Structure 1
């Protein structure tokens, strides 16, 4: 893939085309297979952008079609549970594998949303994220993501409960804490109405006062994905 030989590029993109066609035709993928397919497609899209247009990589329409079809199937998992994240976490013991799956989806979504900020990417129109956010939810802390097994992950979760807090990048480029009641345990957005206990001006002032602290909190535990978030924030 990396040697730049013409024959290898032709073979690579022929294989990508065949793989995309297979993805478009398959309706029996499980959730991990769907996740893997979306991850593979993100790599193909990034390679296509890096190469520019060549005689071998005229697969843009097929790439977009595959992303849309796999994303539709993957989104069906969002509606298995309508309870918010806090309720589910309080009533059942979270599985490490479930968390890895959800966090993998979050990180994958970040990549696609960053792509949409840099180029026009038609599948991004499928995202139903609230208009007040550019990217949400943001990736979790490095210590949780790099846990080698369930025991390590449980230890990190108990040692630093703050690591389970979700953050978002607002449209003004600031990091904010995300109200966990806004997300289902599958990261689907739930109906939300701001509390009328505080006027909007007071909410805005409180947020402005805490933004620098939230940036520091989030960055303190972030890995390489943090660079992508900071890139998008710098574009506002």
Structure 2
């Protein structure tokens, strides 16, 4: 797995980043970790530099300010592709994506999937320590995006994923303009439209125990509004496909 790059975007995750990186290195020892820090005021970037100084398989990208999740991943994907990594992983920095489950996602990628979705909503998947309201919001958001965009996947909004390098080159990433919560839906929709082989692997999502979540109702509403606009724009093409 020396061709695996695990991308971990951070903003004010000093309380979590050392533990998450350590667990990734233990779970997949040959993988390389790239921390992408958006000038975190709490010193996350400085701590990431210390981790990188002690481990040659850890690198850090420093960005000048908070520019959004989508921009962080786009920057990291370009960095990884330039260096020849064959599998590029998306993972949250707060511990909600269990590093010990990464091998299962990579196995699906090695079996031929272009994109592997760590899924909370397929058989065997689940969530720990979420209130019912947040569960309903997540499930409802995925269901709405599936319906509007005509995609069959159960977990459309999740952020624990493995892309092949070929998949990232085939996706029209220049057309992916979402920077926040909607980035995950946007990337999946482009992958789906590109005809990539996409599979879902069950994961257990664990709510963070340290630090503060960046999620808010406004962020979710903005993402669903974007999904609605994408769905409307795609209606003519979907209508023509049903007529053929």
TM bucket normalised to smaller = under 0.3
Larger radius of gyration: 1
Using structure 2 for the length normalisation, give the TM-score.
Answer: 0.24
Using structure 1 for the length normalisation, give the TM-score.
Answer: 0.25
Greater helix share, 1 or 2?
1
Greater strand share, 1 or 2?
2
